[in-house]
Structure 1
Amino acid sequence: MTAARHGAFHPLTVTEVERLTDDSVALTLRVPPELREEYRHAPGQHLTLRRGSATGTEVRRTYSICSPAPASDGPGPEWLRVGVRLVEGGEFSTFAHKEIAAGDVLEVMVPAGRFVLDPAAAPDAAHYAAVVGGSGITPVLSIAATLLAARPDARFCLVRSDRTAASTMFLEEVADLKDRYPERFQLVTVLSREEQEAGLPSGRLDEERLTALLPALLPVAEVAGWFLCGPYGLVQGAGRALRALEVPRTRTHEEVFHVEDAATAPSATAAATASATASAARAGSGPSSRVTARLDGRSGTWPVRDGESLLDAVLRNRADAPYACKGGVCGTCRAFLVTGEVRMDRNFALEEEETDAGFVLACQSHPVTDEVEIDFDR
């Protein structure tokens, strides 16, 4: 089987547009037989959708797959389902809510992302858990459904936070998991702006609250993996709570869906931050750096313009370079830094282990040295 190209898009037909809440919909996409292997995905991965805009520019947005992943020994998926929450002023989410209808054809990139769980690699009688907020339920729904179906001895605890019951996405799907696996699926719901008749009191799930709540729900030390997904504040608070509970960093997986405060963005690495001064000193002197990039087995070397990111430099010469948000959130443009030094402006996608290993976000990386080489194929 030939591996799917990183930035490859294919036309997929929308078979259903289901309204989940007043501000969210689920899109179901049909995958034709000849593309099913290319769209084989791990539970937790995402799709990038694109369309042209009135200004002539291309708009790309990334949405997590909420449908279960296909079995590794079976055929690829016949259909894919993603959840789209309306964002104020969001060009693509507005398009999805007001214009997309069954029968429409969308340009869809092959699945990507590392916020995943491999059921086959799970230890015997494994216990997993997730803390999600809002649309952060989307990839975790796929993760939980796939794991529980594939591993009859596995357990999953879902702690979800939403504003109100009416704004909660995938209520029926989560309830179905509870009905199907009553002994193995634990659900805890917290509403931040609405009191519930039963369950936990309303309010935000912050670090202090989670530090007290999680040990009361499950044996924290025995959980094989934690999946944190949603707004930046929730993910960071949950991460701090787990560290306070002495959960090893290697057991936590994070995916940010919305960044409330860019000023709190984590830097790439200490070395890259320390090199920022050298990069700034060269600004205004014209394109004095070059980037060599390897993508789908082919390499090229091109100049990097003053102030330009490595991704933009590559895109001027390789339109198939993978990217989606260009905001340091989705991780689609992840690349391995082979040689040279770079400075990353923002990083909400790569975990500490990845940056320590040498991975960078091409959309946020600027050259510090005259020569930089990156590899999208690693």
Structure 2
Amino acid sequence: MARFHPLPVAAVDRLTDDSVALTFAVPPALRAEYRHDPGQHLALRRMVDGSEIRRTYSICSPAPAPGDEGPATLRVGVRLVDGGAFSTYALKEIAVGDVVEVMTPAGRFTLEPAAGLYAAVVGGSGITPVLSIVTTLLTREPEARFCLIRGDRTSASTMFLEEVADLKDRFPQRFQLVTVLSREEQQAGLPTGRLDQDRLARLLPALLPVDRVAGWFLCGPYGLVQGAERALRGLGVRRARIHEEIFHVDDGDTKVAGPPAPAHSTVTARLDGRGGTWSVEDGESLLDAVLRNRPDAPYACKGGVCGTCRAFLVSGEVRMDRNFALEPEETEAGYVLACQSHPATESVELDFDR
């Protein structure tokens, strides 16, 4: 089970005017717990006026090599969100020496290093998990190649500019970088504009052999990821080769329809080897019902994006408001997002341990 531990801040690096990288020091006794796959994320939490705030940020540092005890440091990228309670705190208040509550790594937007050609389409802060994926892959696997297509507003707003340039210097024959700016003309490269579905459908076949890419990694705002997926499917790419992680989902984005809730319902949940059965209040998600009785239930964003609250549906039926975290094969296998799930039968049973 994912757990929080207090970790000291070892470094705060300004990336752009509205983003920073936070580095946490991991003591030797906790390094095994913070072993992570390239592409996973961390949930950070703080208390504000008696209320708990959790936010999820992807790890940008390389994953530890097999056999290592675990990372001595963990680095995440944080971009300021208008009115964001945690991102404002991160950019304006967090300093070296501060202690932050950090959850152990989670997430399935990952790549196990293997030979082959891989590619990513990212927008804005979507570079963060892909930076870990690319660095780990090219460092560990000499027969791997990677094409990164990234979209940003301007060069000044581009996160991890130096880190990506360093990858290009280290792996000039195996790392291809294509940058598209939406609000600034470049002296060389592609014309200004957004990476929408139509543009990607024309651009991708011109950059690389689309049908030979072993895995596509799409990360960023909802619109970019959905447009990139549609472009790839239109080019004949199988859904199994496309991996997605959504950042910045608006309330107006698509919700998944489902059956209405019964008048009275209960949820039975197994968590960390222990189970219980509790009532579900009107309009309440299954996660919130569990949290009222088991505050250690795993969650981070509560927006259907991070997947931290994934649980196996043992029995009953649920309606998920939306799902931006689970792959189709996961939902087909019976997994749901507890934060987005509402009971559609009088009793529902979830297993958080599977």
After TM superposition, the score normalised by the length of structure 2 is 0.98
Tell me what 1:231 maps to: 221
Match of 1:357 among 326, 333, 336: 333
User: Among residues 302, 321, 326, which one is paired with 2:278 in the alignment?
Assistant: 302
Residue 102 of structure 1 deviates from its aligned partner by 0.1
Give the SS at the match of 1:263: coil
Count of residues in Structure 1 that have an aligned counterpart in Structure 2: 354
Q: Matches of 1:212 and 1:132 in 2, distance apart?
A: 17
**How far is 1:264 from its partner?**
3.2
Alignment partners' CA distance in 2, 1:218 and 1:301:
53
1:207 to 197, 207, 218: 197
Partner of 2:125 in structure 1?
A: 135
Q: Which amino acid aligns with 2:278?
A: W
- 1:126-184 CA deviation, whole Å, 9 max, x = no partner? 00000000000000000000000000110000000000000000000000000000000
Contact 1:44–1:139, Cα closer than 8 Å, also in 2: yes
Q: 230-239 or 322-331, which moves further after superposition?
A: 322-331
2:243 to 245, 253, 258: 253
Which sits farther off after the overlay, 288-297 or 77-86? 288-297
Partner in structure 2 of residue 13 of structure 1: 8
Specify the SS of the correspondent of 2:156.
helix
Percent identical pairs in the alignment equals 75
Report if the CA contact (8 A) 1:293-1:314 is conserved: yes
User: Does the CA contact (< 8 Å) of 1:131 and 1:227 recur in 2?
Assistant: yes
Taking the aligned partners of 2:255 and 2:320, their CA distance within structure 1 comes to: 10
**2:42–2:56 contact (8 Å) kept in structure 1:** yes
Q: Secondary structure at the match of 1:75?
A: coil
Does the residue aligned with 1:243 lie in a helix, a strand or coil? helix
Q: Which runs of 4+ in 1 moved over 4 A?
A: none
How far the C-alpha of 1:350 sits from its partner, in A, is 1.4
The CA distance in 1 between the partners of 2:80 and 2:192, in whole Å, is 24
Q: Is the 8 A contact 1:265 1:347 kept in 2?
A: no
TM-score w.r.t. length of structure 1: 0.92
Aligned alpha-carbon RMSD (Å): 0.9
**Preserved CA contact (<8 Å) 1:160 1:188:** yes
More deviation, 341-350/214-223: 341-350
**Structure 2 residue 20 is the aligned partner of structure 1 residue 25:** yes
- Residues 308-353 of structure 1: CA deviation (Å, up to 9, x unaligned): 1100111011111001111111111111111000111121111222
CA distance in 2, matches of 1:216, 1:368: 47
For each residue in 1:36-60, what CA deviation from the matched residue of structure 2 results, as whole angstroms up to 9, or x when unmatched? 0000000000000000002x11000
> What amino acid does structure 1 have at the position aligned with 2:270?
R
Once residues 154 and 133 of structure 1 are traced to their aligned partners in structure 2, the CA distance between those partners, rounded to angstroms, is: 23
Partner of 1:179: 169
Does residue 80 of structure 2 align to residue 86 of structure 1?
yes
Q: C-alpha displacement at 1:222, in angstroms?
A: 0.4
Q: State how far apart, in whole Å, the 1-side matches of 2:107 and 2:254 are.
A: 20
**Aligned partner (choices 279, 287, 291) of residue 311 of structure 1:** 287
Asked if residue 68 in structure 1 is aligned to residue 62 in structure 2, the reply is: yes
Amino acid at match of 2:191: P
Q: Shift in Å at residue 266 of structure 1? A: 4.8
In 2, Cα distance between equivalents of 1:375 and 1:84: 32
Q: Which residue of 1 aligns with 2:259?
A: 275
Counterpart position of 2:34: 39
SS at match of 2:236: coil
The AA in structure 2 aligned to 1:264 is: D
What stretches of structure 2 of length at least 5 have no aligned partner? none
Instruction: Tell me the residue number matched to 2:143.
Output: 153
CA contact (8 A) 2:258 2:320 kept: no
Partner in structure 1 of residue 158 of structure 2: 168
CA displacement at 1:274 relative to structure 2: 4.2
